[in-house]
Copies of this chain bind each other. A is one copy, B any other.
């Protein structure tokens, strides 16, 4: 609604301004919109173009100097803010053989989705896991974490963080460890043994909203999707899709970021869908394209693309495809804000 501008009103607005006040009625239309009006846009990054740049970064700066050698994927609609959506950060991180990304912790929660390479590990609060392509790994808020590459090839993963959420709430904390790398006194995959087999420690008590299981392996996730797909459980929008879960609560792995894996059969022509959680996709297998709004985004393995809030999207495949994705859905649901429409 447009309000009449009179000289009296304009003069009054000047007075208000001098008192750190503003007339709501002049701002309300932009503050409270009938539908989400994101400045973010749909976008994609092709891995074949990203990979040489990552390797060039590897030549220009060490993991240690960079602390984290990451190319941030910036949403073209909001450049300069290190964000892929209005609430999330994403980047591709490279770690070369022999390198260590030193231990630190921060209020921001992070996920990793392994894109390429064998031999790297992540250590979380003293426990170390080796990562393989397709694995989904979390480093929840305020957990110590470091990464290293003990193998012989470059390793690349997609990082997703809730930095914009943490900063909206003015709740950023961060700390560097005195020691570069956590002493990993634990056997590999202890958390998987304790929490990952549909069993839990005796009289386990939940503290906070983070999953005690911090590595979700690609092989069993992929196999579960395949069995479901073979049984005919194929959704017209999502194909066969599951969300990663905290085995101790059934909730999302972390309170701010949810993650998903979906299998689309060859020749899939998905129905149109939209939801308020802008979503970042990474292609694991297959090739196809997604219609995001009116625009077509072709994708192949390891490509990244982003669907903004409330923009209609449909997925279409040539070959059988697997898509990993993540969004802020847990936060939106916890705050009563999430909507979807199929």
A interface residues (Cβ-Cβ under 8 A, vs B): 1, 3, 6, 8-9, 12, 15-16, 19-25, 27-28, 31-38, 40, 43, 45, 49-50, 53, 56-57, 60-61, 65-76, 79-80, 82, 85-87, 89, 91, 106-109, 140-141, 162-175, 186-187, 189-190, 192-194, 196-204, 206, 208-210, 213, 216, 220-221, 223-225, 227-228, 230-231, 233, 238, 241-250, 254-256, 260-261, 276-278, 308-310, 328, 331-332, 334-339
Contact = CB atoms under 8 A, between A and B. Distances in A.
A72 to B, nearest CB: 4
A57 B23 contact: yes
A202 B79 contact: no
A248 B242 CA distance: 13
A89 B31 contact: yes
Contacts of A336: 109, 140-141, 208-210, 254-256
Given A36-B170, A140-B336, A164-B168, 13 more contacts: A16-B53, A22-B71, A22-B74, A23-B72, A34-B174, A85-B170, A86-B168, A109-B336, A141-B336, A169-B276, A194-B224, A196-B224, A246-B250
Contacts of A246: 250
Contact of A86 (B8, B108, B169, B203): B169
B227 A187 contact: yes
A232 to B, nearest CB: 8
Given A82-B27, A231-B186, A72 B22 contact: yes
A298 B36 CA distance: 40
A331 to B, nearest CB: 6
Contacts of A227: 187, 189-190, 192-193
15 contacts: A21-B71, A23-B72, A25-B67, A28-B67, A34-B175, A85-B170, A86-B169, A87-B170, A141-B336, A170-B309, A190-B233, A197-B221, A197-B242, A202-B260, A250-B250
Given A32-B106, A32-B108, A107-B337, A82 B22 contact: yes
A88 B136 CA distance: 34
B187 A231 contact: yes
B32 A174 contact: yes
Contacts of A40: 170
A197 B168 contact: no
Nearest to A208: B336
A281 B76 CA distance: 39
Nearest to A76: B20
Nearest to A256: B335
Contacts of A335: 162, 165, 169, 209, 255-256, 331, 334
A78 B65 CA distance: 34
Given A20-B43, A199-B261, A244-B199, A25 B220 contact: no
Nearest to A162: B335
B87 A12 contact: no
A171 B3 contact: no
Nearest to A209: B336
Contacts of A165: 168, 335, 337
Nearest to A212: B250
B245 A199 contact: yes
B328 A163 contact: no
Contacts of A199: 216, 221, 224, 242-245, 261
